[in-house]
């Protein structure tokens, strides 16, 4: 099959490399058949200027097993103008709508046109602050209404001509807003994550911080609608939102360690889900490869054809195995998937025609910034 493109990962490099770095993160990627990743800019320092963007490039150079593109954090238009003039500019701007600075810049129209803006679309006005000690309490602080109103806000920006992509959609109401906007002629793309497809409130241990993620895990009705939307072609991409944290940070609700590490398991998780809910995997594969390439303007990747780079994955669809934290390649050694039986195993991964990974052995580290 073609190499996968995961357009949403957090490799924590630079600044938080005790959680993950580009070497360990991209090992997880190629072990799951991912040949290109898009790394988010919430590093230390935040990647929102020419100086920090260049600094990140220098810090991650020669660490990567797969190819990668970078995001830049939302900043004033005059600063973004400088960044996009670099030799290898970012492919998108990440907008974390709940962040006061991001929301303020967007709201006052300080936006550089001609770029793709990827939104975490929870509206800050509908988010409550406070401590919590269960997933139920987190869901009350970050309710579905926050996502619905955030998506409505982004739709209005799209009506004004902004090129938008909405990441990790979780709710039926929010996705219906996107579908409605498309019927009105707006070109809005969106993605979903494995954890919002595999898990729902009735299926998780609500007392476990392992399920602490933003947006939160939703109700079964929302999860089932996401799956139906995949069947009907309303979802454009599936991405891991790989968000690793140290083990001690995921052992309590007060660490602020939102996110789930899942990149190593992306392909088997999604393949296993397809078998369970009876979705044609070929439909899903497009969401994992060709569609992300087209959304983010990645040339000659995402599908197998003459003239494209030979990003190819050899996959055994009958192999069953147990997700074991002892076999985890990430620095974040625990996840809510631990102990889960999945079907499908990556045997080998080729990037640009070169064999990078075979039967658990990493052979070459050739990843480059694209």
- Which residues are marked as active site? 241
Nearest to 69 by CA among 55, 82, 80, 53: 53
Q: Which residues contact 137 (CB under 8 A, 6 or more apart)?
A: none
In terms of C-beta density within 10 A (0-12 exposed, 13-18 middle, 19 or more buried), how is residue 146 classed? buried
DSSP-assigned letters across all residues of 21-61: -HHHHHHHHHHTTEEEEEE-S-SSS-S-SHHHHHHHHHHHT
Where does residue 355 rank: exposed (0-12), middle (13-18), buried (19+ CB within 10 A)?
middle
Q: In angstroms, rounded to a whole number, what is the distance separating the alpha carbons of residues 361 and 67?
A: 18
User: How many of the other CB atoms lie within 10 Å of CB of 177?
Assistant: 23
């Amino acid at each position: 099959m073609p190499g996968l493109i995961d357009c949403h990962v957090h490799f924590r490099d630079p600044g938080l490399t005790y959680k993950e770095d580009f070497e360990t993160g991209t090992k997880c990627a190629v072990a799951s058949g991912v040949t290109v990743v898009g790394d988010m800019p919430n590093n230390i320092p935040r990647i929102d200027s020419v100086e920090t963007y260049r600094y990140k490039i220098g810090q991650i150079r020669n660490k990567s097993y797969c190819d990668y593109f970078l995001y830049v954090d939302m900043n004033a238009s005059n600063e973004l103008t400088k960044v996009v003039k670099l030799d290898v500019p970012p492919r998108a701007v990440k907008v974390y709508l709940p962040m006061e600075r991001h929301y303020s810049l967007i709201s006052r129209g300080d936006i550089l046109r001609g770029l793709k803006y990827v939104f975490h679309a929870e509206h800050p006005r509908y988010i409550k602050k406070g401590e919590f000690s269960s997933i139920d309490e987190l869901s009350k602080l970050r309710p579905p209404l926050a996502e619905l109103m955030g998506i409505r806000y982004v739709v209005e920006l799209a009506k004004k001509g902004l090129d938008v992509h909405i990441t990790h959609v979780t709710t039926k109401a929010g996705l219906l807003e996107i579908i409605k906007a498309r019927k009105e002629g707006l070109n809005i793309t969106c993605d979903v994550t494995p954890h919002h497809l595999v898990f729902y409130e009735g299926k998780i241990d609500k007392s476990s911080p392992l399920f602490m993620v933003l947006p939160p895990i939703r109700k079964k009705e929302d999860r089932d609608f996401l799956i139906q939307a995949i069947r009907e072609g309303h979802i454009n991409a599936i991405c891991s939102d790989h968000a690793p944290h140290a083990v001690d940070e995921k052992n309590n609700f007060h660490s602020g360690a939102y996110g789930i590490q899942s990149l190593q398991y992306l392909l088997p998780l999604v393949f296993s889900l397809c078998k369970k809910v009876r979705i044609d995997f070929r439909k899903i594969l497009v969401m994992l490869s060709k569609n992300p390439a087209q959304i983010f303007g990645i040339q000659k990747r995402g599908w197998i054809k003459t003239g494209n780079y030979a990003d190819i994955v050899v996959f055994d669809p009958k192999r069953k195995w147990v997700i074991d934290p002892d076999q985890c390649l990430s620095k974040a050694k625990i996840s809510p998937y631990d102990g889960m039986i999945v079907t499908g195993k990556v045997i080998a991964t080729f990037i640009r025609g070169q064999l990078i990974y075979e039967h658990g052995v990493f052979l070459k580290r050739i990843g480059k910034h694209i």
